[in-house]
């Protein structure tokens, strides 16, 4: 049989009976591209949105982790002993501010509720700080003693002004042979930049309501204070000074030796002035030996001796000495490691806000 050839479909046949090729496929018209500035704008908005979301989430996580970190402390065993005969050591280092007071509160809350802690040694290495922060810490330490904990202070290189304020409640105060202490006094300080802005073509204008013209924002960096304003601040500082002296007298009791005399000094302007001053309440700093003579400290010695004294006061036969160290969270450690901003917002606050402080520092 011969093969039968199937005819093509009619749709494939032209008038000549030939098979027509399919029509060419035309490519789609090219998409009209947005202008470059629109594309950059869209990319920028998307990136900002992503950064905002990530930043918000990390901020929330950081807050949660920071709170968890602030809720605990690491405990390092310095000397083994009986678990129910604990001497707790905590260090107050640097300028005393609100954060420092918060950390000490955490420590006090932990040890006051621990029946195994019988004594506390506070290591003080501080030139002082804010009046309110120092006063809060002083109250915490008094409460700690009220809970039955023996309190001993070991002074580091400097334990002056507010550093001494928080040391005063201790039953026994040790200072190292090279310790600088004393500086029992208060001061107010702020920066005046009047005249500086004008050099750069800027000027600060301060307008007050009529009834507050004399006192509102009386201490600000853009104006020289008037004499009556300085006198008002001095009266406030005198009240704080009296409180400081009462704290020292209450803490040291009969051990304190005071001396009152009239003394004449020459001021920075070359003029002489005479004051009636009482040592050690004249704001001067003292060596450990001088502080010992005035009854500001009990012994010249080091941290180990202060720990032994705390154990003896608590009647411990085999004390276990532990040091409490505030635990830092991951984000806090990272923030300390990274570079800060060119202009620290805290610096602006320091310039604008007058400070009343119990602090000692060497003037350069």
At 35-52, the pLDDT tens digits run 666 666 676 666 666 655
For residue 68, the model assigns a pLDDT of 37
For residue 17, the model assigns a pLDDT of 54
Residue that wins the pLDDT comparison between 333 and 62: 333
Asked if the model's pLDDT at residue 145 lies above 70, the reply is yes
For residue 356, the model assigns a pLDDT of 55
Distances (CA, A) of 25 to 21, 22, 28, 96, 192: 12, 9, 9, 82, 81
Instruction: Give the model confidence (pLDDT) of 252-289 as tens digits.
Output: 999 999 999 999 999 888 999 999 999 999 999 999 99
The share of the chain scoring above pLDDT 90, in percent, equals 55
188 CB-contact burial (10 Å; exposed 0-12 / middle 13-18 / buried 19+): middle
For residue 206, the model assigns a pLDDT of 81
Buried/exposed 148-161: b ≥16 CB within 10 Å, e otherwise:
ebbbbbbbbebbbb
Tokens of 46: 């998307």
> Structure pTM?
0.72
For residue 216, the model assigns a pLDDT of 84
Residue that wins the pLDDT comparison between 205 and 139: 139
Asked if the model's pLDDT at residue 355 lies above 90, the reply is no
Mean pLDDT check: name the lowest of 85-94, 120-129, 223-232: 223-232
Q: What is the mean pLDDT of residues 313-328?
A: 92
Chain centre distance of CA 21: 85
Residue 325, phi then psi, degrees to nearest 5: -130, 125
- The Cα 311–Cα 119 span in angstroms is 7
Asked if the model's pLDDT at residue 226 lies above 60, the reply is yes
What H or E segment, with its residue span, contains residue 250? helix 227-252
Confidence band, pLDDT 50/70/90 cuts, at residue 221: confident
Asked if the model's pLDDT at residue 102 lies above 90, the reply is yes
For residue 12, the model assigns a pLDDT of 47
Confidence band, pLDDT 50/70/90 cuts, at residue 29: low
Residue that wins the pLDDT comparison between 207 and 164: 164
Tokens of 228: 């009556």
Confidence band, pLDDT 50/70/90 cuts, at residue 192: confident
The domain locations on the chain are 73-184+236-331+347-359
Q: CATH classification of 73-184+236-331+347-359 is 3.90.226.10, yes or no?
A: yes
- The Cα 260–Cα 175 span in angstroms is 25
Angle at which helices 98-112 and 131-146 pack, to 10 degrees?
A: 10
Asked if the model's pLDDT at residue 297 lies above 90, the reply is yes
């Amino acid at each position: 049989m011969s093969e039968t050839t199937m005819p093509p479909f009619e749709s494939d046949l032209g008038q000549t009976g030939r098979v027509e090729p399919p029509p060419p496929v035309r490519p789609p018209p090219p998409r009209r591209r947005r202008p470059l500035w629109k594309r950059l704008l869209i990319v920028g908005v998307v990136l900002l949105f992503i950064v905002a979301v990530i930043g918000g989430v990390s901020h929330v996580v950081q807050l949660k982790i920071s709170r968890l970190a602030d809720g605990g402390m690491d405990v390092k065993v310095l000397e083994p002993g009986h678990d129910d005969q604990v001497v707790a050591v905590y260090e107050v280092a640097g300028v005393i501010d609100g954060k420092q007071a918060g950390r000490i509160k955490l420590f006090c809350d932990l040890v006051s509720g621990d029946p195994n802690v019988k004594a506390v040694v506070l290591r003080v290495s501080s030139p002082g700080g804010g009046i309110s922060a120092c006063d809060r810490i002083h109250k915490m330490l008094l409460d700690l003693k009220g809970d039955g904990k023996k309190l001993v202070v070991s002074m580091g290189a400097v334990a002056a002004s507010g550093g001494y304020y928080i040391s005063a409640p201790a039953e026994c105060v040790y200072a190292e042979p090279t310790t600088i202490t004393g500086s029992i006094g208060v001061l107010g300080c702020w920066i005046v930049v009047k005249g500086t802005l004008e050099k750069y073509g800027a000027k600060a204008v301060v307008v007050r309501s009529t009834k507050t013209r004399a006192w509102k924002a009386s201490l600000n960096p853009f104006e020289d204070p008037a004499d009556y304003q300085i006198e008002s601040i001095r009266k406030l500082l005198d009240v704080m000074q009296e409180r400081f002296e009462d704290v020292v007298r209450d803490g040291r009791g009969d051990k304190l030796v005071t001396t009152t005399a009239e003394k004449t000094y020459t001021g920075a302007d070359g003029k002489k002035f005479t004051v009636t001053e009482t040592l050690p309440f004249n704001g001067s700093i003292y060596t450990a030996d001088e502080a010992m003579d005035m009854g500001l400290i009990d012994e010249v010695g080091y941290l180990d001796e202060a720990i032994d004294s705390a154990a003896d006061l608590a009647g411990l036969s085999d004390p276990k000495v532990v040091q409490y160290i505030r635990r830092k969270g991951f984000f806090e450690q990272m923030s300390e490691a990274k570079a800060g901003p060119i202009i620290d917002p805290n610096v602006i606050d320091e310039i604008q806000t007058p400070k009343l402080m119990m602090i000692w520092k060497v003037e350069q």
